[in-house]
Chain A
Amino acid sequence: MFWNALIIALREIRRNLLRAFLTVIGVVIGVAAVITMVTLGNGATEAMKEGISKLGNNLLTVRPGQGWGPSASPLFSRTDVEMIRQQVPGIKHITPLSNTTVQAIYQEQARQTDVQGVYPEYFPISNWKISSGRFFDISELNTGEPVAVIGETIKKELFMGEDPIGKRIRLLNTAVTVIGVTEVKGLAGWGDDLDDNIIIPITTLQSRLNGQMFKQNVNQIMISTIDGYPTDGVMTDIAALMRERRNLARTVQDNFSVTDSRQVAEVMSSSIKIMTSLLGAVAGASLLVGGIGIMNIMLVSVTERTREIGIRMSIGARAREVMAQFLVEAVTLSCVGGLAGIGLAYVACYFLAPMSGAPFHFDPKINIIAFVFSAVIGIVFGFMPASRAAKLDPIEALRHE
């Protein structure tokens, strides 16, 4: 009976392709919208996670003040860094980070860029890999050598294809020698170019670039923890130590903050997930509207095809067979619509994913869900028209003009 209903339904669809197209277009768009939204949302989450992991894993950051914005809270000193290294267990690497934006000049080329003064430990903490040359080491840090490791963007912009190793760049009134170029990290999840920077020993930055004026000018402290060591404990220890060093009274809030990159990543990706679900829900509503479109046209078509139903009944079709015909027709249409929607979504994602900066991950799960959902919509919204058709009286139906 199902097989016959399918043949009959397919013949009816073929008989009026325009009607079939108008019936399914809503479902096509609905399915495509759901899949596109969810796919792009998932891509954005992936991109965000990837961006965070580019900054380093198990990464703790100590910043002045609370929150992200600029603050009047005191900065840190290299003594803070050494005290944390000595007194807090679970730390693998630690580095101060002192950064400033200056003009970097090489011959005719100049570029405003971020100069970061750090320890050599910064390289493993931040997941930097060398692509040519080398990192600076602890002895160069101790003596404050004028050496620099540059990002790919600096290499491109200042050296225009020349090999930068051994060349000298001017930063303010100091010349530094390029000893290494880092591997490309690309964009962070939020769009910052991670390769647009120059990394030098913090001692060099403090003594040569900033002068002796800012002894305390460590903007933030970056820490990687030993794998498997609970970061919560490390964070509490750092906070306690810093409060002690700053003599903060019990009632006073921290004037610094310790953040865990993984927590940040979790917060960010969970907020993107919420956005994705919201967009998916809106798209789901359009799929629902598509389903109502099916019901709409099927209802009209039951009226329009009353005579056909009468003919079928007079030659011996039972109510359930008429019902099956219309249900199968609705489900077939919505399934075809679902498949077309998947195709449309694939095309849309293919073109939209690069635009949104998110990688293109075509997730089979959401496709299957959307397809099944469209089939269910066919059943749900095909039911009313089908049962209306099945209830027709053959004599009345035959007389219908």
Chain B
Amino acid sequence: MEKTLIELQALTKTYGRGDAAFQALKGVDLTIHKGEFVAVMGPSGSGKSTLMNLLGCLDTPTTGSYMFEGIAVETLNKDQRSLLRRHALGFIFQGFNLLARTSALENVELPLLYRGYTRSQRHEMAREALRSVGLGNKERNTPAELSGGQQQRVAIARAIVTHPGTLFADEPTGNLDSKTTLEIMELLCRLNDERNITVLMVTHEDEVAHYAKRIVHVRDGLIGSDVINEDRALRNTPAATH
């Protein structure tokens, strides 16, 4: 087994105060190891988005502890969490979240701008990332000139350009058709397998979840089930078909 990447203990998150308070997470314990591909599933309102925001260091828990690579995330301030995201995490969103009117290359370069690379280093790394998602010939195109699948691949290139150890994907195929979904999922599997990037993915589609090696169900702010997806986990190769 690979070493522990994430360890949650009795994690809770409460929004609001007093009568209006709403407990979105009611004490979650979860351990994720390096190199895993975890799908987080659950109906809306189950707390899965809250859980992902906490895992992605975008938010802080109300109580409980969150260790990320030995760092107690709940003790970090806003800037320290920003730096943690910058250096260790990559994000992929349902709505792609690319900058409009900006070329694919510049979109992919964006995280590098905050890491102090020179212009030529940025270009080289961004081109490399675009090639690795199969868009080496689209670096000048703006999001409006790309299909949904291509946009999501640009977003993936942006997420992996800094070589993060962990990738957070929030409904990465939610806006895509089934054929494109297949492409994107295979790309994520390949990153997981070939680069040993840990992938944490939120989805509500069983078909998408089946690409993951491990499926966690969240229900009413608690972990409902946590199962190994044997099809994927044992073969350790991308699912050719579903």
Query: Which A residues have a C-beta under 8 Å from some C-beta of B?
Result: 4, 7-8, 11, 15-16, 307-308, 310-321, 394-395, 398
Q: Which of A4, A16, A310, A320 contacts B79 (CB 8 A)?
A: A320
Q: Which of A7, A16, A319, A395 contacts B101 (CB 8 A)?
A: A16
A307: chain B residues within 8 A (beta carbon)? 97
Whether the Cβ atoms of A8 and B101 lie closer than 8 Å is: no
A394: chain B residues within 8 A (beta carbon)? 58
B47: chain A residues within 8 A (beta carbon)? none
Whether the Cβ atoms of B101 and A317 lie closer than 8 Å is: no
Bound Cα distance A314, B97 (Å): 11
A314 with B85, Cβ < 8 A, contacts A320-B79, A398-B93 known: yes
A315 with B79, Cβ < 8 A, contacts A308-B99, A395-B53 known: no
Interface range, B side: 20 to 34
Task: Given A310-B97, A316-B111, output 4 extra A-B contacts at Cβ < 8 Å.
Answer: A15-B101, A308-B99, A311-B98, A318-B82
Bound Cα distance A376, B82 (Å): 30
- Grouping DSSP codes into helix (H, G, I), strand (E, B) and loop, the A interface class, with mixed when no group exceeds half, is helix
Whether the Cβ atoms of A4 and B114 lie closer than 8 Å is: yes
Whether the Cβ atoms of A313 and B82 lie closer than 8 Å is: yes
Whether the Cβ atoms of B86 and A311 lie closer than 8 Å is: no
Bound Cα distance A316, B85 (Å): 5
Whether the Cβ atoms of B78 and A315 lie closer than 8 Å is: no
Q: Which of B93, B101, B114 contacts A316 (CB 8 A)?
A: B114
Of B82, B85, B97, which is in contact with the most chain A CB atoms at under 10 Å from its CB?
Answer: B82
Bound Cα distance A94, B205 (Å): 108
B110 CB to nearest chain A CB (Å): 6
User: Is the CB of B102 closer than 8 A to any CB of chain A?
Assistant: yes
Whether the Cβ atoms of A315 and B86 lie closer than 8 Å is: yes
User: Is the CB of B30 closer than 8 A to any CB of chain A?
Assistant: no
Whether the Cβ atoms of A315 and B102 lie closer than 8 Å is: no
Whether the Cβ atoms of A315 and B110 lie closer than 8 Å is: yes
Q: Which of A11, A16, A308, A314 contacts B91 (CB 8 A)?
A: A314
Bound Cα distance A316, B56 (Å): 11
Bound Cα distance A99, B224 (Å): 113
Of A8, A311, A398, which is in contact with the most chain B CB atoms at under 10 Å from its CB?
Answer: A311
B101: chain A residues within 8 A (beta carbon)? 15-16
Whether the Cβ atoms of A315 and B58 lie closer than 8 Å is: no
The 7 closest A-B pairs by CB, nearest first: A316-B86, A316-B85, A318-B82, A315-B111, A318-B79, A311-B97, A15-B101
Can you spell out 25 A-B residue pairs with CB atoms less than 8 angstroms apart? Answer: A7-B113, A8-B113, A15-B101, A308-B99, A311-B98, A312-B110, A314-B58, A314-B85, A314-B91, A315-B85, A315-B86, A316-B82, A316-B85, A316-B87, A316-B89, A317-B82, A317-B86, A318-B82, A318-B83, A319-B78, A319-B79, A319-B82, A395-B53, A398-B93, A398-B97
Bound Cα distance A395, B15 (Å): 14
Bound Cα distance A317, B53 (Å): 16
User: Is the CB of B16 closer than 8 A to any CB of chain A?
Assistant: no
A321 with B114, Cβ < 8 A, contacts A315-B91, A315-B158, A395-B59 known: yes
